[in-house]
Structure 1
Amino acid sequence: MKRSFSIVMGVALLALLVPVHAQERSGTLVVALSSDPTSLFLPRAADRTATNASLPLYDSLVWINDDLEVVPALAERWEISDDGTEYVFHLRRDVTFHNGEPFTAESVVATWETGSDSSNDYSNFYTAANLVEAIDDYTVRITTPEPIATFLTSVALSWGMVPPEYIREVGIDAFARRPVGTGPFRFVSRAAGDRVVMEANPDYWQPDMPMVAGLEFRVIPDASTRMAAIQTGEIHIANRLTPDQAMALEGAAGVEIVSYLNDRAYYVGFKNVGAGAGTPLEDPRVRQALNYGSDRFGIIAAVFAGQAEPIPGFVIEGNLGYDEALMQPFPYDPERAMELLAEAGYPDGFEISMGCPADGYVNINEVCLALQRTLGQIGVEVNVEFRTTNSFWSEAEYGAVGAMFVDSWSSTIGEALPRLDGALMPGNFYTAWHDDRFAERISAIERTVDRGERAALYVEMHELMYEEPPFIYLYQPTIFEAVSDRVQGYLPRAAEEYFLGRVSLD
């Protein structure tokens, strides 16, 4: 059986779920991870795998439902000032952390303070606020220096509340090793490179969640091993399968295939800092040449059996502002690529290094090697540096690898802003291309509350990023997952997010 999902889906199915009380919880849900989580502390969860493994431990003030609406969570209600820079949240009074600490306004302050620490990968999600104040035990005020159109969405998906006494006592590093939140599951143990074990939170403030007694994330980097494990019943959810593997599993006993278009842009990043400074990449003609010389269409056909879409930039299908008529991918044109290289002073090409997160994404090793071959045909000799995922994402500005790197960036909000901000705003952990023109336009998008005006700004941003590309734009894949037919209520979203509190086992 095959189940396909769009970006917004599943509300009717959720309505059919019957509440399960604590005494009825049974079974341990086992979910495969394609890489070892970099951290279980959300501000340090470097990629989607790490985020998905962290989210069951935490709650935020607000939540994004399946209609992409902001709804109450640990905050029962809130008010926003007329100028859009002040948020006052009124908190629930019946919530405790896994270690017994009460959830109060001081918890929100501590979450902001620790999340803003410069050692974190995503401190920018927290430093977007310049002040967080406890008005009383159950009222908190958050102030931003200017209006931020997607601020509540960012809070919903990034501000996992932490217990102030515990995190201040042990520090961020120790907290990340034994995390504590208010979420539907609580941490039990972690064996690096092997598994993360959690158990149901018996005191969860939503009494019908979770619906299983235990949750285990199993680290299985090899997709064929994940495929075998779902067939033997060792795991219940196998993610990031190749199209061929999904096809091979069609009709397999006890297994269902889930597929959906991923809101994730795969790209080759250029660096004009660190190892990229002073390289040919600083010439926009070279960056355009590398886009013309990358056969993204051939890669999609050969590596993904056609189950991906070429992307024109960072604003992709399903995003606010996307216009297929205006936004076309670079054509594969090696002759034009060589002309541009000659104009830039490199008629014989050049040599350059490119980092690759080994096994970090579906078929990513093959993609890196295919890029090496196709760019070699225009005279650019690419030295591929394979790194483990933890090494690849370990340093600011991709400092662990050379002048180029292969990566991807998802968005959970139906807009390109999170990937634009994360990849191009100077000062962010993973920004390796600095250009004030990009930063100014991203700031304008963040400040613009009107969706129509914001859509127009995305078009302008796309046009600049096409003329002055900071990346080689590659593809947007279709995601394939295999799910045991014992699993009920599993509804992944377009950015590969999944929330397991309402998932049960037959």
Structure 2
Amino acid sequence: MRRSSRCALGMTVLALLFAGGCGGGQPAGPAPQPSADALPGGTYTYPLSRNPEGIEPKTIREREGMQVAHQVFQGLAAYELQPDGALLARPALAESWTVDASATVFTFHLRRGVRFQPPVAREVTAADVARSWDRITDARRPAPLARILAPIRGLDERGKQTDEQAGLAGVAVLDRYTLRVTLRYPFAEFPQTLGHPVAAVTPVDYIAHVGEAAYARAPVGTGPYRVQSWRKGEGIQLVAVSEYWNKSERPQLDRISMPVIADTADRWRRFAAGELDIIRVSPGWRRDAATRRHVGRGEWLVQAWPRLSVRLIGIRMTDGELGGASGEAGLARRRALALATDADAVAAALHDVPLAGTGVVPPGVPGFRDAQTPYDYDPPAAIRLLEETGHPKLQVSFADEESTESSVIAATLARSWREVGIVARRKQPAGLPSPPATDDSPLFALSWTADYPSMDAFLSPLFHSGGHSGTQYHSETVDGLLYQARATLDDVQRQNFYAQAEKTILADAACIPLCFERDLWVNSTRIASQVVDPLGFIDMWKLYRQRRGKR
């Protein structure tokens, strides 16, 4: 039977993982406040695995750039880690917001006294928010991540303005501190998108003065840290903003150093030498890291943090043997595949860094439900189903990408499927996208990472009839539930609709859950309060030096 993923919804210390069971599996929750042993000032050294393509809302694209932007910029909302490990949007530059009964019109009331960093050093207004989003969604040159603002009226699915003359039609400045946003469709969780750095506020008048290129190199935001320097290929230096507007969240550390270190072994060497405060490592490094003497002495912590990412097996619903057109026989074969898939074995093959998948929506998302799939690992049941179809031996092809982890997963799946008479031929199409859309294999690797913490960010793009996951799944029931969820203001009722949609998708066996992704991090205890949220962000302004950690 598949293990419950609730064994480790939040941070898990690997020393406890080695002991087995669910020990230490309680979510980390919000970062602790500085204690009596906190030391003033200091530098936090966080390595970047590559040179970011951009570090401001218009140019960010990958996690390295977003990590920098998270420290420098702020939006109307900010994500707050809850005791259950979920990320919830809370007011940030907005002090509050309201939504109408149709879930299409939001009114944001801005906080007074918020100021841009020097050299802009002026108050932020509602007009700044409107201009910032207009710049992000520009009809000629939208930001790479403009899609996050796509629900707003006047934008297409890519977040690009559809009418250059009308501009961002769904955004209206009502007064100096009030902004009204009208959406193209009901979406009660719209504020959940606004903690993303792409929705942050920027001084567009200043950008026009210095030019886009100069601003991209030395951007100015409203956050607790500002960019001191960015040397391409070498690294980024941030310094605390002494004039930071939020006195209750003044940074404890003076400086953030972000050297670019592309080589994994070099990052590990420099961390072990005390030159770095934290590193992200692959699952294969787990045992080596956790058995180091530094862990036993309390100098290092080795932790697996949940990520907004899931691995599934996608099933192409147009396939002649497995698809919807094959009726009850096709459903029976899909169910047999699900019952023959040992998700626990997949997680174990990856050193138990990911959690065995029990659904589509992973931990870290508000409304997450454990054990959503009705098909626990049950080889005898899989054999019976295949026999009932009249074809006890099933041969299928399985498309995935070429990587070490993919090879490990494919080998693990092949073993569990072979036990019930399913023979899978692995295919690796050149340039296979994720999710795949070009190969015609009935089974394919389907990895999905959400842009923001919402059940909708998994279920709608993957399984709505207009989705592009490659499953070509169509269900009027699921489409209706997703629409009801988007239009429902009550949190509990909305999450129930999403959960019903997820259960229906899994009962139809349109996909098979493999694992909920987690990232493996090793950090020095010299710096306290290092919490990695499900988006991979660290609130570096909450970090502080402590006496008990050793360098």
Task: Give the TM-score taking structure 2 as reference length.
Answer: 0.70
Aligned to 1:211: 252
Aligned to 1:471: 511
Q: How many residues align?
A: 484
Deviations 1:319-349 (A, max 9, x none): 6555556645542649938976996999663
Deviations 1:96-141 (A, max 9, x none): 1566274332221133234446855543431223211122343322
> Would you say the 8 A contact 1:289–1:340 is kept in 2?
yes
Question: Which residue of 402, 409, 419 corresponds with 1:367?
Answer: 409
Q: What amino acid maps onto 1:259 in structure 2?
A: Q
Question: Which residue of 483, 486, 490 corresponds with 2:523?
Answer: 483
- In structure 2, relative to structure 1, the CA distance for the partners of 1:345 and 1:47 (3 Å cut) is farther
> Would you say the 8 A contact 1:32–1:226 is kept in 2?
yes
Aligned to 2:400: 354
- Following superposition, the deviation at residue 474 of structure 1 comes to 0.9
> Would you say the 8 A contact 1:117–1:123 is kept in 2?
no
Gaps of 5+ in 1: none
Deviations 1:453-497 (A, max 9, x none): 224313321222113344331113565422112112322335543
Q: Secondary structure at the match of 2:171?
A: strand
Equivalences for 1:327-346 in 2 at 5 Å?
Answer: 327-328=373-374, 330-331=376-377, 333=379, 336=382
Q: Distance in 1 between matches of 2:293 and 2:127?
A: 51
Query: Are residue 89 (structure 1) and residue 109 (structure 2) matched?
Result: yes
Aligned to 1:296: 343
Equivalences for 1:130-141 in 2 at 5 Å?
Answer: 130=153, 131-141=170-180
Q: Secondary structure at the match of 2:270?
A: helix
- In structure 2, relative to structure 1, the CA distance for the partners of 1:8 and 1:254 (3 Å cut) is closer
- Following superposition, the deviation at residue 7 of structure 1 comes to 3.9
Q: What amino acid maps onto 2:497 in structure 1?
A: L
Aligned to 2:291: 248
Query: Are residue 108 (structure 1) and residue 129 (structure 2) matched?
Result: yes
Q: What amino acid maps onto 2:269 in structure 1?
A: A
Deviations 1:275-323 (A, max 9, x none): x98797755656555544543222222331x454322221345765555
- Following superposition, the deviation at residue 373 of structure 1 comes to 6.6
Equivalences for 1:330-479 in 2 at 5 Å?
Answer: 330-331=376-377, 333=379, 336=382, 349-355=395-401, 366-367=408-409, 370-371=412-413, 378-384=422-428, 404-409=444-449, 413=453, 416-424=455-463, 431-435=469-473, 437=475, 438-477=478-517, 479=519
Aligned to 2:156: none
Q: What amino acid maps onto 2:80 in structure 1?
A: N
> Would you say the 8 A contact 2:193–2:452 is kept in 1?
no
Q: Distance in 2 between matches of 1:440 and 1:173?
A: 45
> Would you say the 8 A contact 1:290–1:337 is kept in 2?
no
- In structure 2, relative to structure 1, the CA distance for the partners of 1:448 and 1:171 (3 Å cut) is farther
Q: Distance in 1 between matches of 2:412 and 2:88?
A: 40
Q: What amino acid maps onto 1:123 in structure 2?
A: A
Q: What amino acid maps onto 1:244 in structure 2?
A: R
- Following superposition, the deviation at residue 184 of structure 1 comes to 2.4
Aligned to 1:257: 301
Query: Are residue 75 (structure 1) and residue 122 (structure 2) matched?
Result: no
Deviations 1:366-397 (A, max 9, x none): 4356457766883222224697xxx967xxx6
Q: What amino acid maps onto 2:42 in structure 1?
A: S
Q: Distance in 2 between matches of 1:60 and 1:19?
A: 29
Q: Secondary structure at the match of 1:379?
A: strand
- In structure 2, relative to structure 1, the CA distance for the partners of 1:383 and 1:431 (3 Å cut) is closer
Aligned to 2:539: 499
Aligned to 2:151: 128
Which deviates further from its counterpart, 34-43 or 177-186?
A: 34-43
Which deviates further from its counterpart, 130-139 or 206-215?
A: 206-215
Aligned to 2:33: 14
Q: What amino acid maps onto 2:252 in structure 1?
A: M
Q: Distance in 2 between matches of 1:402 and 1:174?
A: 46
Q: Distance in 2 between matches of 1:172 and 1:407?
A: 34
Query: Are residue 26 (structure 1) and residue 42 (structure 2) matched?
Result: yes
> Would you say the 8 A contact 1:375–1:382 is kept in 2?
no
- In structure 2, relative to structure 1, the CA distance for the partners of 1:135 and 1:324 (3 Å cut) is closer
Q: Secondary structure at the match of 1:475?
A: strand
Q: Which has the larger radius of gyration?
A: 2
Q: Secondary structure at the match of 1:161?
A: coil
Q: Distance in 2 between matches of 1:133 and 1:80?
A: 15
Q: Distance in 2 between matches of 1:385 and 1:262?
A: 29
- Following superposition, the deviation at residue 95 of structure 1 comes to 0.9
Task: Give the TM-score taking structure 1 as reference length.
Answer: 0.76
- In structure 2, relative to structure 1, the CA distance for the partners of 1:320 and 1:198 (3 Å cut) is closer
Q: Distance in 2 between matches of 1:324 and 1:49?
A: 31
- Following superposition, the deviation at residue 168 of structure 1 comes to 6.3
Q: What amino acid maps onto 2:275 in structure 1?
A: E
> Would you say the 8 A contact 1:265–1:314 is kept in 2?
no
- In structure 2, relative to structure 1, the CA distance for the partners of 1:504 and 1:114 (3 Å cut) is same
Q: What amino acid maps onto 1:134 in structure 2?
A: V
Q: Distance in 2 between matches of 1:421 and 1:468?
A: 16
- In structure 2, relative to structure 1, the CA distance for the partners of 1:133 and 1:281 (3 Å cut) is farther
Query: Are residue 63 (structure 1) and residue 78 (structure 2) matched?
Result: yes
Q: What amino acid maps onto 1:65 in structure 2?
A: E
Q: Distance in 2 between matches of 1:410 and 1:215?
A: 27
